Amino acid sequence: MKSDSAIEVRDASYTLPVIPLPGKVIFPGLNTPLNVVRETGVLAVKYALDTDRVVLLLNQKNKDTESPSMEDFHAVGTIADVVDSYDPGDDSIRIAVEGSSRGEVLKLVEDSGFFSAEVSVPAEDSSSSDDASSLMRKAIKLLERYVRISKQSSSEALVIVRKEVDPGKLADYIASLIIGSQSERLQQVLDTIDPIERIRLVNQFLDEELDILELDRKIDSKVRKSIEKTHKEFYLQEKMKEIQKELGRGDNPSEIEDLREQIEKADMSEEAKEKSEKELNRLQQMPPMSAEFGVIRTYLDWILSLPWDKRTTSKFDIQQAEEILNEDHYGLEKPKERILEYLAVMKLVDKVKGPILCFVGPPGVGKTSLGKSVARSTDRNFIRMSLGGVRDESEIRGHRRTYIGSMPGRIIQGICDAKSKNPLFLLDEVDKMGSDFRGDPASALLEVLDPEQNDTFRDHYLDTAFDLSEVMFITTANTKMSIPPPLLDRMEIIELAGYTEYEKSRIANQFLIPKQVESHGLRKDSVSFSDTSISEIINKYTREAGVRNLEREVTTVCRRVAKKIAVGNDKSEQFPVDSDNLTDYLGPEKFTRRKAEEHDEIGVATGMVYTQVGGDIIAIEATTMRGKGDLTLTGQLGDVMKESAQTALAYIQSRSKSLNLPDDYNFSDNSIHIHVPEGAVPKEGPSAGITIATAMISALTGKEVRSDIAMTGEITLRGRVLPIGGLKEKVLAAHRNNIGNVIIPEENDKDLSEIPEEIRGGLRFHKVDHMTQVLDLAFRKSNASGQVSSN
């Protein structure tokens, strides 16, 4: 074999027995014990012991080779003396060897069961030089640093190296200390014959080992700190648990497992389950004292409280539903009929998908209680959410979890409260929502109320889809005008008009009075209301389309009766309430019902209006005076009503001859003033057009307007009378004020069917389509005998 190193070979050569070393290198000058167990090595040792006790220690290229061949050895080994031996009698032999020099294999043979090598001892230049001294000093410094960091080598090693003057021996000694387990590097040092190159190579290995040690030390330091922190937290947590146990607040150790079990049993969607498990795994890795721990725990509590697969068994017994609606509400025949039709369709198709019902009507007419009755008739859980004053989109969709104190929107909160997936959800006062820089909640409701989209409703807080398609949504509003058109388009409007006086009287006798008598602890005969007293409460103490204030006044009477009974300590005493003693209970009259004019007057016409509290009548006054042709409008009129007045004036100016205005009347020299009383109340709408025109024509012609007639209708420049809305409420107002004649547009004839029969029977309806017909009816005509008559 030929050595890989450049060496200078002496003339003399030796033939020595070879002891194979699997992955081990022994340097010259070192005394090392060996346990020789392989047969080739044992035979080589015995041969050496029988001769001059000198052997060649050769490292194998592959330490795992059990029976090496001649090609399996390195070219440079160590010539060593066997200084001691011991035969334990188990076919192995233990020896102590001391390396004397390097030996380069010239020839390797196998004979008598072991290897023999012809070797030469390469010459090493051990003379000192500046280069060698510098490299040796560097090696010693690096070794000192290595010993300080690794703490593996003893201080004795440093004493030895400091005394060494031979660079080659110093390199061999340091190599055996720092890379004792790295066979290939040790062999590389052994192969390097030149001492200067050898010490330089060892310095390189020292630098690399120091870099590794530095990296290990940094990693160990970080790991140690992490472990110390973990141990500290564990210690504090365990201590906290013990303190909590002493205080009786011990945590359930299986809390995480309980949450995991709840997630499995919740039967939630795949997306929600995956997200819940992810959050639970995060929770498991967090210390309970962490702020994020509470955030995640709250999130899991919300998502687990949702009824993912819990629903009530809805029933659609139409007959029972009708009985419940009639039991809870008097009147409202058309809304009840529409609700029953809606429930019938749901029963046949067995699903909720369809239009969202919207109850529109004045306050106190029973919109909210009607929703409760629908829930009771279908056996659904009832949830009410008031939208009045809501301006933040997050109220509907929830807050994102990045915000402190975030929570789901009120839709998801309501579903959690309902504890079922298919409740009846009443969105109250949907017309009272606002919008500002925080968003538009009405736009957020578009998805909620759209049956084609709400099966994947995504709340910002949950950030996972929830199916709202089984929820039955009902909304309420006082007026349609305030509802955004896109939202209104998703709803089917059911209008609840105001109650008539007769209906209010029946509701008071059948519902309100018995309810308040019972809630005030009175006997049924403790207080009695006469029909006249109820009528006076309705007309003189309330002004509303519903019955909320009526119930409040009944409550006041019952409360004062209860006080009298409590003071007199006689529960059997009876207190009748009639028109004579009503003021003793309720005080003076709160409202004086606006009456129709008692006499025919010039420039005053009675109109009918619709307000949020029902219908009412107004007296529109007009007068003329010297001026510059101005039209003055007072009474806090809206833009549309002002335009109606201007349209009426234009019609009058264009028809001055046919209207029999005075020949000498000049519009440019006269001004007209129109006033609608109760100036503090805003007034709007086009339906007062014919009333304004009638009042102005009366003022201009001097003709008196009949006091027993009220009118409503929009006017055009050509004098046509156009249809209006809210006819039922307006007619009820005329009936309440004992007006027997009503002028309505011809096209509103179809709306008369909505007016109760008892009201229609007491009124005379005049249907018109042009202003000339209105004037023929509004002005009285004199007959041949000079008496005044009406058309």
What amino acid positions are annotated as catalytic residues?
687, 730
Specify whether the CB–CB gap between 499 and 383 falls below 8 A: no
Residue of 264, 322, 268, 308 lying closest to 422 (CA atoms) = 308
Angle, nearest 10°, between helix axes 130-150 and 195-246?
20
> Which sign, positive or negative, has the C-alpha torsion 534, 539, 542, 543?
positive
Q: How far apart are CA 21 and CA 643, in angstroms?
A: 116
Specify whether the CB–CB gap between 582 and 569 falls below 8 A: no
Q: Residue 159 contacts by C-beta under 8 Å, 6 or more apart in sequence?
A: none
Q: How far apart are CA 759 and CA 742, in angstroms?
A: 12
CA end-to-end span of the chain:
143
Specify whether the CB–CB gap between 328 and 336 falls below 8 A: no
Specify whether the CB–CB gap between 651 and 641 falls below 8 A: no
Specify whether the CB–CB gap between 567 and 671 falls below 8 A: no
Bridge-based pairing of strands 472-477 and 424-428 is parallel
Q: What's the token pair of residue 300?
A: 């899991």
SS (H, E, C) 526-549: CEEECHHHHHHHHHHCCCCCCCHH
Q: How far apart are CA 203 and CA 643, in angstroms?
A: 103
Strand partners, 21: 59
- Which conformational region is residue 242 in: left (phi greater than 0), alpha (psi within -120 to 50 degrees), or beta? alpha
Q: How far apart are CA 698 and CA 676, in angstroms?
A: 16
> Which sign, positive or negative, has the C-alpha torsion 143, 147, 150, 154?
positive
Q: How far apart are CA 92 and CA 688, in angstroms?
A: 127
Bridge-based pairing of strands 670-675 and 631-634 is parallel
Specify whether the CB–CB gap between 131 and 198 falls below 8 A: no
DSSP state letters, 130-152: HHHHHHHHHHHHHHHHHHHHH--
Question: Rounded to 5 degrees, what angle do the CA atoms 749, 752, 757 make?
Answer: 150
**Which residue shows structure tokens 């079922």?**
420
Give the phi and the psi of residue 118 in degrees, each rounded to 5: -95, 115
Within 10 Å of residue 597's Cβ, how many Cβ atoms? 16
DSSP state letters, 147-194: HHHH--S-HHHHHHHHH---HHHHHHHHHHHHSTT-HHHHHHHHH--S
**Which residue shows structure tokens 């309505």?**
744
Residue of 109, 127, 103, 111 lying closest to 12 (CA atoms) = 103
